[in-house]
């Protein structure tokens, strides 16, 4: 088991999600940066599809009840291991470790992941994986539909699976820096013709800012409002990961892993890769550009 001493602002169980069920109204969910979770799993010897924890901004504190290997990837944080007290009543003290390397914890040790110094989210893998019951083939928490386990709370006990591999023989992996400005490739459509030419020029020619009002469902942006050329009501249409929907206020909203499968506002375009938004704090600058030809 993992005993949750402090869950933090938002900690959820995530894996590679449950794609392929949009026709049933089920979002894909899964880690907001799938590659970061796959790396953490490889570092501890897990299959890449194993479930881990996605930790948002304020970190968490966990106690393990058996000897395990763990790895933390993602944002720049302090990772501290507090060793258990021995039978003689003595503690071996604590040590500060690095993000991006396999770490061994004895039974009873406490893992403390601090507040993100840069970026927004971390991913934690534990040897054996988080072994909560799967729903539609995935253990991921879906914050929109409620599928999968609920968000992690103080006092929760999370079961661990049986380890199947050995930790990776590496000392450290490179943690990429978090940029102050994101450049996202945007392919226009399917409803870009519902917006004025001037609005499309603004979308591709001005900077937007990540709003504080955002979550795993979507990243809201603030900036130049996009005026519509067509003001009629739009019947609900299918939505995909990275869809840029424009509500009535004209401010773009980029859908992330827990996005709904349908929506009634026009989608002006689709972002090719949304993973940089996993680390985008409020205030981060976002610029869109068209595909390179």
User: Residues 40-80: pLDDT tens digits?
Assistant: 999 999 999 999 999 999 999 999 999 999 999 999 999 99
Q: Would you call 132 helix, strand, or coil by DSSP? A: coil
Say if residue 229 is in the same domain as residue 150.
no
Query: Beta 52-56 vs 218-222: how paired, if at all?
Result: unpaired
Are 151 and 189 in a shared domain?
Answer: no
The 8-class DSSP code of residue 86 comes to: P
What tokens were used for 23? 């026709």
Average the pLDDT over 32-37 and give the result: 97
Domain assignment present for residue 168? The answer is no
pLDDT at 188 over 80: yes
Q: What is the pTM of this model?
A: 0.95
The pLDDT value recorded for residue 293 is 54
Q: Are residues 146 and 234 in the same domain?
A: no
Same domain, 13 and 138: yes
52 plus 187 within the same structural domain: no
Could you read off the pLDDT of 77-127 as tens digits, one per residue?
Answer: 999 999 886 655 555 567 888 899 999 999 999 999 999 999 999 999 999
Q: What CATH number is associated with residue 278?
A: 2.40.100.10
Using 50, 70 and 90 to split pLDDT, how confident is the model at 279?
Answer: very high
Residues 129 and 83 both lie in one domain: yes
Q: Supply the mean pLDDT for the chain.
A: 94
Domain identity same for 6 and 144 = yes
Domain that holds residue 121: 2-158
Q: Are residues 150 and 65 part of one domain?
A: yes
Last residue in a domain, options 104, 126, 158: 158
Summarize the confidence of residues 219-247 as an average pLDDT.
Answer: 96
The yes-or-no verdict on residue 32 having pLDDT over 70 is: yes
**The pLDDT of residue 173:** 75
Number of domains in the chain: 2
Q: What is the mean pLDDT of residues 226-247?
A: 95
Q: Are 211 and 282 in contact (CB under 8 A)?
A: yes
Q: Is residue 69 part of a domain?
A: yes
Q: Which residues pair with 187 in a beta bridge?
A: 270
Given a contact cutoff of 8 angstroms between Cβ atoms, the answer to whether 285 and 180 are in contact is: yes
Q: Going by C-beta distance under 8 Å and a sequence separation of 6 or more, which residues neighbour residue 152?
A: 4, 7, 11, 12, 13, 53, 60, 158
What percent of the chain has pLDDT above 90?
88
- Overall average pLDDT of the 36-43 stretch: 96
- Are 68 and 129 part of one and the same domain? yes
């Amino acid at each position: 088991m993992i005993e949750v001493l402090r869950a933090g602002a938002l900690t959820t169980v995530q894996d590679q999600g449950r794609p392929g069920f949009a026709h049933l109204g089920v979002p894909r969910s899964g880690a907001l940066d799938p590659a970061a979770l796959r790396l953490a799993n490889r570092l501890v010897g897990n299959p890449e599809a194993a479930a881990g924890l996605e930790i948002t901004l304020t970190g968490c504190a966990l106690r393990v009840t058996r000897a395990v290997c763990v790895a933390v990837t993602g944002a720049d944080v302090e990772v501290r291991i507090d060793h258990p007290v021995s039978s003689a009543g003595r503690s071996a003290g604590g040590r500060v470790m690095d993000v991006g390397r396999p770490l061994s914890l004895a039974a009873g040790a406490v893992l403390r992941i601090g507040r993100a110094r840069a970026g927004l989210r971390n991913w934690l893998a534990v040897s054996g994986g988080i072994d909560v019951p799967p729903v539609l083939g995935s253990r991921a928490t879906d914050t929109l539909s409620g599928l999968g386990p609920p968000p992690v709370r103080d006092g929760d006990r999370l079961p661990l699976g049986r380890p199947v591999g050995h930790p990776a023989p590496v000392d450290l992996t490179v943690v990429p820096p978090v940029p102050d400005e994101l450049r996202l490739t945007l392919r226009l459509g399917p409803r870009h013709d519902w917006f004025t030419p001037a609005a499309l020029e603004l979308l591709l020619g001005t900077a937007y800012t990540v709003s504080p009002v955002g979550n795993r469902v979507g990243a809201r942006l603030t900036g130049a409002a996009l005026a519509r050329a067509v003001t009629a009501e739009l019947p609900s249409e299918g939505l995909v990961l990275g869809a840029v929907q424009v509500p009535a206020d004209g401010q773009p909203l980029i859908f992330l892993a827990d996005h709904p499968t349908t929506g009634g506002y026009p989608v002006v375009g689709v972002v090719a890769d949304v993973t940089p938004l996993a680390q985008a704090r409020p205030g981060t600058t976002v610029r869109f550009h068209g595909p390179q030809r």
